[in-house]
Amino acid sequence: MSKIVILGAGISGHVAATHLRRKLSKQHEVVVVSPNSNYQWVPSNIWVGIGKMKSEKIYFPLAPLYKKKGIQFKQAKAISFHPEGDKTEQTPYVLSEYVVGNQKGQQEKITYDYLINATGPKLNFGATEGLIPGKNKAYSVCTYSHANHAWGGLNKVIQQLKAGKKAKILIGTGHAKSTCQGAAFEYILNVEQELRKHKVRDKAEVTWISNEYQLGDFGMDGMLMRYGSLTMKSHEMIEMIFEDRGIKWILGAGVHKVEDGVAHYENLEGEHKSETYDFAMLIPSFSGHGFKAYDKNENDITEKLFKGFMIVDADYTAKPYEEWSVRDWPETYQNPNYKNIFAPGIAFAPPHSISKPRKSKNGTDITPAPPRTGMPSGITAKLVADNIIDSIKGGKKSLHHKGSMGNMGAACIASAGFGLTKGSGVSITTFPIVPDYEKYPETQGRQLGKTFGEIGLAGHWLKLALHYAFIYKAKMKPFWWLIPE
């Protein structure tokens, strides 16, 4: 009999829990620990943030589903890791704290045989002075409640524009090392289209601000891609889209301070500049949660488990950009020191960025962090679950299932306007996510046939279809497992 504890019920944690429960008999325990009582399909927050989808459509309560399926659910957050137990508890455990509104709840030791850390990122708003969702006219769409606030702020500006005022809208990254440019890109396109729908586009100046060196970098060093019969760089495609829609851009910008309607940033030239706005949506930097780890004698062993995010089977040796290899990226997401601990999705520490690191003339690091989007988050969670299932069923440790971001693709379907006939979408498919210069030396590390961009209504339909398919899958409706990650 084994007990598998999963920390987090986001894309990774929920995928792992559902597959474990489906494939393991009920004598094995599957326990999910997560502070949010709801599951949310994060990618659809974009539509919540333009008022086109109610947030209730993208989340549902976990407790009834887990009860029905035989998954234990603790609405709590992990605080510290004790992979050897301690003097009183001889089994590995995680110390967790129950979440009771904003009050501190009771603490509990949750023991495990296998532990899956799927806690994703901490949305590190604190790393940028004044960047607080809903304050200083700056918003976020990273959670459904943030996205609801963002729509409130945007709607106010739209009403002002309708009354004849002019306004400046600023969307992009809110820190020199933010990731998730894809989400901000999707949001700016949707906001721009909404302004046109409300017939106020001519009164608004819309600007993209980002830590990317070039447009279309997306934290993946940009890409050479097919676009129709053409082969072009991703920056050319995004430039074309922005020019077509009259969107301005500021690049190589590390936003470090936000005041009421003003974003202060340093650029790669080392200049300190500011940009005013009436509405901003700025993605914060992502960081680890600051977990601590202790051995059985209660000595601090945090560095054996964490390097910001959780340490897994990546090659963390510090080396220059020219020596980075696709082989630096992890394949099993197993912690090398405690082999019953895994970290799929965003929770694992990447070996380095994917984009070339760049510093400003003052030495400030202004480089997008590597994205770990929904598809790799789901795939890595499923392979971790499959390895645990094989180990339990086979009676010996198995790491047969492997998948690196260097042999995995990502499809970023950025809806660029809502509506079954008037919507639009920009689809960018990349293979692999981490460029493999040995396999694809002629095409800048990517397989051209599988790396392509498309613009059109079909992209919007696909994004909408994925929304319904993934909510269906997450609710574990009949044959949910046939829908791939």
**Angstrom distance (rounded) from CA 143 to CA 10:** 11
Alpha carbon distance 410, 391 (integer Å) = 28
Residue 305 in contact with ligand FAD, rule: CB under 6 A: no
To the nearest whole angstrom, how small is the minimum distance from the Cβ of residue 147 to ligand FAD?
7
Residue 21: strand, helix, or coil? helix
Which of 373, 391, 404, 443 is close enough to bind ligand FAD by CB under 6 A?
A: 373
Residue 11 engages ligand FAD in binding (rule: CB under 6 A): yes
> Minimum Å distance from CB 202 to ligand FAD?
28
Collapsing DSSP states into helix, strand and coil, what is residue 159? helix
Q: Which is nearer to ligand FAD, 180 or 434 (CB)?
A: 180
Size of the site for ligand FAD (CB under 6 A): 35
Among 46, 158, 379, 405, binds ligand FAD (CB under 6 A): 46
| Residue 9 binding ligand FAD, by CB under 6 A | yes
- Tell me which residue of 19, 6, 160 sits closest to 473, measured CA to CA: 19
According to the binding rule CB under 6 A, does residue 423 interact with ligand FAD? no
Q: What is the DSSP string of 247-260?
A: -EEE-SEEEEEEET
Residue 383 in tokens: 């392979």
Q: Which residues contact 396 (CB under 8 A, 6 or more apart)?
A: none
Residues 103-132, mask of contacts with ligand FAD (x by CB under 6 A): ---------------xxxx-----------
**Which residue of the chain is nearest ligand FAD when measured via CB?**
10
Please give the structure tokens belonging to residue 480.
Answer: 């949910």
214 vs 373, beta carbon nearer ligand FAD: 373
Considering only 142, 167, 258, 384, the residue that binds ligand FAD (CB under 6 A) is: 142
Toward ligand FAD, which CB reaches closer, 200 or 346? 346
Decide: is 417 part of the binding site for ligand FAD (CB under 6 A): no
What CA–CA distance (Å, rounded) separates 7 from 249? 39
- Whichever of 264 and 463 has its CB closer to ligand FAD, that residue is 463
Question: Quick check: 57 and 31 in contact, CB under 8 A?
Answer: no
- DSSP tag of 381: H
Assess 36 for contact with ligand FAD (CB under 6 A). Answer: yes
**Do 459 and 413 touch, CB atoms closer than 8 A?**
yes
Q: Which of residues 183-202 bind ligand FAD (CB under 6 A)?
A: 183
Q: Which of 42, 150, 200, 349 binds ligand FAD (CB under 6 A)?
A: 42
Q: Which is nearer to ligand FAD, 46 or 171 (CB)?
A: 46
Angstrom distance (rounded) from CA 84 to CA 338: 9
Q: Which residues neighbour 342 within 8 Å (Cβ) at sequence distance 6 or greater? A: 114, 115, 116, 117, 312, 332, 333, 334, 335, 384, 387, 388
Please tell me the number of Cα atoms within 13 Å of 136 on its side-chain side: 23
Dihedral, 294, 309, 474, 2 alpha carbons, nearest 10: -30
Closest approach of ligand FAD to the CB of residue 105, in Å: 13
Buried b or exposed e, range 204-232, using 16+ CB within 10 angstroms: bebbbbbbbbbbbbbbbbbbbbbbeeeeb
Q: Could you tell me the smallest distance in angstroms from the CB atom of residue 394 to ligand FAD?
A: 27
Of 1-9, 155-163, 234-242, 353-361, which segment contacts ligand FAD by CB under 6 A? 1-9
Separation between Cα atoms, residue 202 and residue 206, nearest integer Å: 10
> Residue from 175, 372, 446, 460 that binds ligand FAD (CB under 6 A)?
372
| Residue number, 142 or 247, with CB nearest to ligand FAD | 142
Question: Is 19 a binder of ligand FAD (CB under 6 A)?
Answer: no
| 424 lines the binding site for ligand FAD (CB under 6 A) | no
Build a one-symbol-per-residue string for 324-353: x at contacts with ligand FAD by CB under 6 A, - elsewhere: ---------------------xxx------
Number of helices (H), then strands (E), in the chain: 9, 28
Site track for ligand FAD across 265-294, x = CB under 6 A: ------------------------x-----
Q: Which helix (H) or strand (E) holds 115?
A: strand 114-117
Interface residue with ligand FAD, options 2, 4, 5, 13 (CB under 6 A): 13
Confirm or reject binding of residue 181 to ligand FAD (CB under 6 A): no
Shortest distance (Å) from residue 340 CB to ligand FAD: 18
Verify binding: residue 180, ligand FAD, rule CB under 6 A. yes
Q: Smaller CB distance to ligand FAD: residue 142 or 416?
A: 142
Q: State the amino acid at position 429 in one-letter form.
A: T
Range list of β-strands (E), 387-481: 410-415, 425-430, 452-456
Residues that bind ligand FAD (CB under 6 A): 7-13, 33-36, 42-43, 45-46, 77-78, 118-121, 141-142, 180, 183, 289, 345-347, 372-375, 377, 412
